[in-house]
Amino acid sequence: MNPRDPDALIARAGVRGDPDRDQHFLVDDRVLDRLPTYLEEIDADASHVLEIGGGTGALTDRLLSMGRDAGTDAGDGAAAETNGGHVTVVERDRELAAFLREEFAREIEADRLSVIEGDALSVDLPAFTASVSNLPYGVSSEIAFRLLPEGRPLVLMFQREFAERMVAGPGTSEYGRLSVSTQHYADVEIVESVPKEAFSPPPAVQSAVIRAVPREPDYEVDDEEFFLRFVKALFTQRRKTIRNAIRNTAHISGLSEPDAVVDAADADVLRKRADAMSPAAFAELAQLALEVGAPDRE
* Binding site as annotated, residues for S-adenosyl-L-methionine: 24, 26, 53, 91, 119, 134
Q: What's the chain's length in residues?
A: 298
Q: 241, 228, 232: which is closest to 269 by C-alpha?
A: 241
Which residues contribute to the annotated binding site?
24, 26, 53, 91, 119, 134
Beta bridge partners of 295: 255
Strand 48-52 to 25-26 pairing:
unpaired
Under 8 Å between Cβ of 229 and 261: no
CB distance 270 to 241 below 8 Å: yes
How far is the C-alpha of 88 from the C-alpha of 115, rounded, in Å?
6
Contact assessment for residue 12 and residue 96, using Cβ atoms and an 8 Å cutoff: no
Alpha-carbon distance of 32 to 123, in angstroms, equals: 26
- Between CA 269 and CA 271 the distance in angstroms is 5
> Rounded to a whole number, what is the distance in angstroms from the first to the last CA of the chain?
54
DSSP β-bridge partners for residue 48 = 86
> Residue 282, exposed/middle/buried by CB under 10 A (0-12, 13-18, 19+)?
buried
Outline where DSSP puts E strands in the chain: 25-26, 48-52, 86-91, 113-117, 130-134, 154-159, 186-194, 199-200, 207-214
In the chain, the amino acid numbered 231 is V
CB 192 within 8 A of CB 248: no
